[in-house]
């Protein structure tokens, strides 16, 4: 729900998720630099970035590495409950003001980095909110 309510949190989670998808750890300075590119280099953005990352450490989704300013993923949280997985996807679509997402893109939702969601097409058939459709050669999930 934080990604829906706080766009800065969403952007920071996306940056961290992308970094952790290609490497085991990341530097706080790298996250700051990428967030400054999006939000501008302001002291409030720097302060908020540091606090959000500290919160993620407190929540147990990130851990500090041996060196200062270096963080790594703590634990991946696998979500198996179908309704909860659908809720995650619905929140993602609403918070990004998207009406659909390609089925192939679902595995690349970096913003939800501490969570692992695996979808099957059958998960969407009973959903009252999300529907499976076809656009050209692509299978899409429509809200």
Per-residue 3-state assignment (H helix, E strand, C coil) for the chain: CHHHHCHHHHHHHHHHHHHHHHCCEEEHHHHHHHHHHHHCCCHHHHHHHHHHHHHHHHHCCEEECCCCCEEEECCCEEECCHHHHHHHHHHHHHHCCCCEEEHHHHHHCHHHCCEEECCCHHHHCCCCCCEEEEECCEEEEEC
Residue 74: per-residue pLDDT: 87
Same domain, 117 and 82: yes
Looking up residue 8, the CATH number of its domain turns out to be 1.10.10.10
**Owning domain of residue 53:** 2-73
Residue 16: per-residue pLDDT: 96
Tell me the per-residue pLDDT of 2-30, one tens digit each, with 9 for 90 and over. Answer: 887 889 999 999 999 999 999 999 999 99
Same domain, 66 and 81: no
* Total domains, the chain: 2
Tell me the per-residue pLDDT of 108-125, one tens digit each, with 9 for 90 and over. Answer: 888 888 888 888 888 888
Residue 75: per-residue pLDDT: 81
């Amino acid at each position: 729900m934080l990604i829906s309510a706080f766009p800065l949190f969403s952007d920071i989670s996306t940056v961290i998720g992308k970094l952790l998808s290609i490497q085991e750890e990341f530097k706080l300075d790298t996250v700051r630099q990428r967030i400054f590119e999006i939000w501008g280099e302001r002291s409030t953005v720097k302060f908020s970035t540091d606090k959000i990352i500290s919160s993620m450490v407190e929540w147990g989704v990130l851990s500090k590495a041996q060196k200062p300013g270096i963080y790594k993923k703590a634990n991946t949280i696998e979500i198996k409950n179908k309704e909860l997985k659908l809720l995650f996807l619905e929140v993602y679509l609403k918070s990004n003001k998207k009406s659909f997402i390609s089925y192939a893109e679902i595995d690349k939702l970096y913003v939800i980095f501490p969570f692992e969601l695996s979808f099957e097409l059958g998960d969407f058939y009973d959903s009252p909110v999300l529907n499976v459709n076809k656009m050209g050669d692509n299978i899409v999930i429509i809200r």
